[in-house]
Amino acid sequence: MTWDVFTGGFCQTNAYLLATGGRFLLVDAPDDCAEWLRGLGVKVEALLLTHQHFDHVMDAARIVEDHGCPVYAWTQPTPDLWLNRMFSQMTGWALEIPPYAVTHELGGPGNAAGGGVAVAGTTLQVLHVPGHSPDSVCFYHQPSAQCFCGDTVFAQGIGRTDFPGGSEALLIAGIREKLFTLPGATTLLPGHGGLTTVGAEMIENPFLQG
């Protein structure tokens, strides 16, 4: 599996286009991502959301409209998950998110945490790691040792935990129990900034020592 990255919106949020056997998946949907996909001329078979904060879903509805693809996320979208109202109150900027529906709830009945998403001829393991957002998940592709981790962990950083539903203790515990049990050479592809590895973060991340 190979990937390409698009960084969009004023939060500089990463979206990852995964290619496997000539078929495509998308992880996250920041602003202007739909236009980027149009320029590439590819057909996305599924949209996978690491979590539903506004900067990761601004183009979700547009991508669904363009590609007719299903949406995979831990739960259905809500204003509390989007954080757009809180952002608008804090900044004075009106921030409206075009509505979309999650067609596959990864946290729903019959979908145990740690299960997999099988789509477009490949399978991604789902790791539920709340703390940054209650619905935060990471998508791990074992054959290529790549983990698309959203805002769970960054190169020498972790996701913010001061938003509603956040918990630093829960986030750190989830990273140690779920991500740090992956092979050290596993590439971590975060929602902001550049890639890193499990091994590097185990040694160098100041938030995850001790």
Q: Return the amino acid letter for 158.
A: I
What are the boundaries of each domain within the chain? 2-208
Q: Which residue, among 170, 167, 166, 175, has the nearest Cα to 80 in the 3D structure?
A: 166
Q: What angle do CA 163, 189, 202 make, to 5 degrees?
A: 80
Chain segment 77-93, per-residue pLDDT in tens: 999 999 988 877 777 77
Chain segment 33-82, per-residue pLDDT in tens: 999 999 999 999 999 999 999 999 999 999 999 999 999 999 999 999 99
Q: Which pLDDT score is estimated for 109?
A: 65
What pTM was computed for the model? 0.96
- In tens digits, what is the pLDDT along the chain, a chain of 210 residues? 999 999 999 899 999 999 999 999 999 999 999 999 999 999 999 999 999 999 999 999 999 999 999 999 999 999 999 998 887 777 777 789 999 999 999 997 656 555 799 999 999 999 999 999 999 999 999 999 999 999 999 999 999 999 999 999 999 999 999 999 999 999 999 999 999 999 999 999 999 997
Give how far Cα 118 sits from Cα of 25, 47, 125, 148, Å: 11, 12, 9, 15
CB atoms < 10 A from the CB of 88, how many? Answer: 14
Q: Does domain 2-208 have CATH number 1.20.1250.20?
A: no
- How large a percentage of the chain has pLDDT more than 70? 97
